[in-house]
Amino acid sequence: MARAAPTTAFGQAVIGPPGSGKTTYCLGMSEFLRAMGRRVAVVNLDPANEGLPYECAVDVSELVGLGDVMDALRLGPNGGLLYCMEYLEANLDWLRAKLDPLRGHYFLFDCPGQLTAVHLVDSHYCTDPAKFISVLCTSLATMLHVELPHVNLLSKMDLIEHYGKLAFNLDYYTEVLDLSYLLDHLASDPFFRHYRQLNEKLVQLIEDYSLVSFIPLNIQDKESIQRVLQAVDKANGYCFGVQEQRSLEAMMSAAMGADFHFSSTLGIQEKYLAPSDQSVEQETMKL
């Protein structure tokens, strides 16, 4: 008797540094997907996650917990987490057995695949040129090492105003335009002036690869979540049917009080655009 062909699985591997909003992202994205009618299974692969805010289909803490490992082996949090990940790798049969009944679901893997790696970066780094260059290097290194379809997000866009207006328009940061403007900003700082050559080499490396770009995310905004989901679906090849499209349009129309149409980041850009040097703004818009 012929064996049934394996079902193609789709989903997202949500990664990023501590505090970037991965768990909150999984909560918001899972609620959004369920409202569209998509079957969702959130898989927590973080043994340090406690008090999960979302409905968890698979929880790695049932296999191994960070606290127990740290107590039993007298390890710190970093060493304990590495041990937990190695323990999970050695017991992948456990994970496969947990995932097997969830065939046909769309997966959200919370943390450290058809999968898309969703890498979250706190948007407040845009307000500091040195930190933004560091974020670009981190994002590029992650893309090269993870080797999955990849979407970079600037998270917490609803909080960005707390850090002041951006030096350039939002497209400058999301599209990673001419980074020489950042070098000019750094040159005005006595500390970074001594490291201009190093920063120039880092910027050249980022621009030579020309891989990094970002999508702004406000997890409280359905339109923002929809833009992220559209990018993820494009990255991993997920195609949804007519009924899901109708659910999406109905949900967005109800949320916005009008017919929903796909839009660019222009509205967000206008909100966070700095009222600074117009010549710089015009130059970056030309790029």
* Tens-place pLDDT, residues 215-224: 999 999 999 9
Q: What is the CATH number of the domain that holds 26?
A: 3.40.50.300
- Residues 31 and 76 placed together within one structural domain of the fold: yes
Which of 110, 145, 171 represents a domain boundary (last residue)?
110
pLDDT exceeds cutoff 60 at 257: no
Q: Dump pLDDT digits (tens) for 131-154.
A: 999 999 999 999 999 888 899 999
- Residues 124 and 206 placed together within one structural domain of the fold: yes
C-alpha to C-alpha distance for 139 and 134, rounded to whole angstroms: 9
- Residues 102 and 202 placed together within one structural domain of the fold: no
How many distinct structural domains can be found in the chain?
2
> Do the domain assignments include residue 278?
no
pTM of the model: 0.72
- Residues 130 and 45 placed together within one structural domain of the fold: no
> Do the domain assignments include residue 22?
yes
Residues 237, 243, 245: CA angle, nearest 5 degrees: 55
- Residues 144 and 240 placed together within one structural domain of the fold: yes
- Using DSSP bridges, classify how beta strands 215-216 and 150-155 pair: parallel, antiparallel or unpaired: parallel
Q: Dump pLDDT digits (tens) for 98-127.
A: 999 999 999 999 976 467 899 999 999 998
> Do the domain assignments include residue 206?
yes
Beta-bridge partner residues of 58: 43
What is the structure's pLDDT at 242?
Answer: 64
- Residues 73 and 124 placed together within one structural domain of the fold: no
- Residues 181 and 228 placed together within one structural domain of the fold: yes
Binning pLDDT at 50, 70 and 90, where does residue 20 land?
confident
What residues contact residue 242 under an 8 Å CB cut-off, 6+ apart?
none
Which of 110, 138, 154 represents a domain boundary (last residue)?
110
C-alpha to C-alpha distance for 167 and 267, rounded to whole angstroms: 17
- Residues 184 and 212 placed together within one structural domain of the fold: yes
C-alpha to C-alpha distance for 167 and 118, rounded to whole angstroms: 26
C-alpha to C-alpha distance for 17 and 145, rounded to whole angstroms: 15
- Residues 216 and 240 placed together within one structural domain of the fold: yes
> Do the domain assignments include residue 5?
no
Percent of the chain with pLDDT over 90: 54
C-alpha to C-alpha distance for 17 and 15, rounded to whole angstroms: 7
Domain range spanning residue 192?
117-256
Enter the tokens of residue 235.
């990255």
